[in-house]
Amino acid sequence: MRKSQIINEKIYIIFIFSHILFIISLLFLINMDIVKNIIKIRREKGISQEYIANTLGVDTAVVSNIENGKRELKVKELEIIAKALGIDVLYLLTYPHVYIKKDLKNTENQPDAIMQIRLTGDKRDKVLKLIFGDTNLEFLNE
């Protein structure tokens, strides 16, 4: 194996681990505060559950069940709800704080970080699906 291939594989592994950490953070945010944020922002903007339901293509009862914790919010619904609220998904996740994009120009001198996280069962599968998609998940399980 050539040295450039080894370096590229190490960079790819670091990239994957950083995305795993980000996605795990998102999963915790989703479980903790995301629904509360949706409710607060929706009410602040005077947007009805019916409008959100129409945007999602579901019945108003589905939105009510999401807001009451009777139905789990799906990741793919976040973008649709954010658009319906007229905000970015990242703001929906960080509300009431505003995300400011970090200057990535000076990342050359920063040390690499490698993290190992042990996930089992349903959480492992969810994280892998978010990172690799459904088709690559079969490859990883072999």
In contact, 37 and 95? CB cutoff 8 Å: yes
Q: Looking at residue 39, what is its pLDDT?
A: 94
Q: What is the mean pLDDT of residues 8-31?
A: 72
pLDDT above 50 (res 139) = no
Provide the Cα torsion 34, 40, 44, 46; round to 10°. 90
Looking at the domain assignment, is residue 48 inside a domain? Answer: yes
Looking at the domain assignment, is residue 133 inside a domain? Answer: no
- Expressed as residue numbers, the domain containing 36 is 3-102
Calculate the average pLDDT of the chain: 78
Cβ-based neighbour number of residue 34 at 10 Å: 21
Looking at the domain assignment, is residue 56 inside a domain? Answer: yes
pLDDT above 80 (res 9) = no
Looking at the domain assignment, is residue 125 inside a domain? Answer: no
Give just the sign of the alpha carbon dihedral 18, 23, 24, 30: positive
CA dist 77 and 21 (Å) reads: 21
In contact, 45 and 100? CB cutoff 8 Å: no
Say how many domains are in the chain.
1
Please report, for the domain that includes residue 39, its CATH number.
Answer: 1.10.260.40
Does the pTM surpass 0.75? The reply is no
